[in-house]
Structure formats: C-alpha cells, structure tokens
Amino acid sequence: MTAPLLLLDLDGTLTDSYPGIASSVVHAFTAAGLTVPTPAELRSFVGPPLHDALVARGFSPTQSGELVAHYRTAYGAGGMFENSVFPGVLDALRALRQAGAALLVATSKPEVYAVPICEHLGIAPLVDGIFGASLEASTATKAAVVARALTGRDDTEARLMVGDRSHDVHGARANGVDCVGVAWGYAEPGELEDAGAVEVVATPADLVASATRRLGLA
C-alpha cells in the first residue's frame, strides 16, 4: 500500500530563513545602486520565487535578472546558512513519518540551495525527497515544483501540501492538492485563508494532528 504523501514548503514552514534572505536582498539592491527595501518589504521576499517578487514590484525582467544574480552571489557565499529550523518542526516530521506519511520537501527555492540547507539543518534524513526549482525563472513556480514532486507517484494516494504563503496554496491547488497553512511563517494576516487554505494551524503539533487526520492516518 502506498503511503499518504505530505508535501512540505521550506522557507517559512520548516525554516526561519528570513535572516539570510534579507541580508542577500540587501546586498543585491546595494550592489545595483538601488534603495534598500524596508524591513517590512524584506520580509515579503521570503517564499515566492525572487524573480517573480521583483517583477511584481515593477522591475523589468532585465533588472530582475541583475538583482537575482547579485542576490545569488551573497546567498551562495553563506547567506543560505543564516537559517534555522522552527522550534518543534523536527519533532513534527518524526511524528508524521512514524504515523506513516511519506514526506517530500517542495520549495520554490532553487534545488541547488534547498538540498544543502536541508542537509545542514537536519531535515534531509527525515524526508523522502527534496524538490526545488531550477535556476531558470520560467520554471521556478511552486506549481511546477509540486508537479515534479508528484511525477511517477500513485495518483490514488492521499496527498496534502503544507505552506505559509498564498503561492503554496495556489501551487498545490493547480495540481489538485489541498493545502494546510501554517501561522508561524511569513504570510500577511488573512493571506492563507483568502488563498483557499483548507485550514491554518498554529503550532507544529497542530500540524501533525491536522495532517494525520486529513491523510487518513489518525
């Protein structure tokens, strides 16, 4: 029998990645000679693909590409490890595995960063796969990552996404998967509910209870 599948966002869901992302965005804007975003604006960069976030702020594709290149210089040089696992998350992953769920990380972060981050923070041994975006902006969407994570899997199995931003909900829904939101991430008030999350949980322990119930493991 195929194990029910839980897809897990990374930034803002499993890890508090704001410090490294914020410092790398600051580096990118400074290197490009642009005004550095405010702390509130920096927070909004956590989650969505960076190129998309920049275009949404009015930057041209060329400007966005330049900023992404500067960002990756800082992020790859160490910014990606300015990161920590949210309290209770590793215990939640262990409980979900023990309950019988298959766990896959599905993140808009490029996979070349996602894999070493998960290894560094002790997440990798607790999941069954790590799926991230490519470095090409055109294939960096959450929907594309979720689709790749689901490729080759039994389409009759129970499946559920967990994330902290609206693009997690929309990316899951594009693949016919419901999404449970987490309240400890980077969403604006009401963002997850407005996007259509089936539930928003307050703690990792609440996530375990919700996921096991929704996957038919409870």
Whether 9 is catalytic: yes
Nearest to 171 by CA among 154, 205, 196: 196
44 vs 53: CA distance, rounded Å: 8
- Cα torsion 154, 144, 164, 62 to 10°: value is 170
In the structure encoding, which two tokens stand for residue 44, read together?
């909004």
What are the Cα distances from residue 205, in Å, to 7, 93, 145?
Answer: 17, 10, 26
Q: Quick check: helix, strand or coil at residue 200?
A: strand
Query: Per the residue annotation, which of 9, 11, 16, 164 is the catalytic one?
Result: 9
Sign of CA dihedral 162, 165, 170, 175: negative
Where in the sequence numbering do the catalytic residues fall?
9
